[in-house]
Amino acid sequence: MTGATPEPIKIVLERRVRPGAQAQFEGWVKKFMETASRRPGLQGSSVLTSASSGEYFILLRFESQAHLDRWQSSPEVDALLKEAEPLSVAPERVHVKTGLETWFTLPGVPAPPTAPPEWKMALVTWLALLPQVIVLSYLIPARLPFLLNAAVSTAIPVVMLTWVVMPRLTRLLYRWLYAPAPGVLASPET
């Protein structure tokens, strides 16, 4: 199909901070995110961290594969990644994601080689979001200014989906979401 709009793509960089390098690594993350924010095609970014394990997940969403490729091949990015080496350890591979599948991976569980079917991801996301929207429509006062109402009514579900609801739903529905392949983990360890 010619003239199709390129699909957004996400990259997830994982880092585990070396002992004693926390403060320096935090400074590096800030510098890295500021640099990424200046790149064309970047649509959004997040940093997730687990304070207890020292693990960081840097998520960047690009407008297209071409924008991601240009970002990855940038000498500035290469220099920044090398700067992080004495401060942290990175896994052998970087994860590139194209859709909702970033919500359907579990910490400490090897990611299956393919994402769940899009219809399953959409259905589970909708089932996770619908009750929150209904409850929030009753809890958030209608008299709030529109922008404040919109900000609160979207921020709460995003936080809940990312850190509470989707990890639990993914664990609960793992066997259904991912068809087990021979020799591959069929369900997450509890």
Nearest to 50 by CA among 128, 92, 6, 106: 106
100-139 pLDDT, tens per residue?
555 666 655 655 666 777 788 889 889 999 999 999 999 9
Q: Whole-model pTM above 0.85? A: no
Report how far residue 41's alpha carbon sits from residue 6's, in angstroms, rounded to the nearest whole number: 11
Q: Which residue(s) pair with 45 in the sheet?
A: 60
CATH code of the domain covering residue 28: 3.30.70.100
Domain of 60, in residue numbers:
9-98
- Residue 173 and residue 142 in one domain: yes
Dist CA 183 CA 179 (whole Å) = 12
Poorest-confidence range of 17-31, 65-79, 150-164, 176-190?
A: 176-190
Polymer length in residues for the chain: 190
Both 92 and 123 in a single domain?
no
125 plus 55 within the same structural domain: no
At 76 the three-state DSSP class reads helix
Q: What is the pLDDT of residue 166?
A: 84
111, part of any domain: no
User: DSSP labels for 128-166?
Assistant: HHHHHHHHHHHHS-TTS-HHHHHHHHHHHHHHHIIIIIH
Q: Does any domain span residue 27?
A: yes
Q: Which residues pair with 40 in a beta bridge?
A: none
Question: Residue 69: pLDDT above 80?
Answer: yes
| 128 falls within a domain | yes
pLDDT tens-digit map of 166-179:
888 888 888 888 76
pLDDT at residue 89 above 90?
A: no
Reported as a pLDDT band with limits 50, 70 and 90, residue 183 is very low
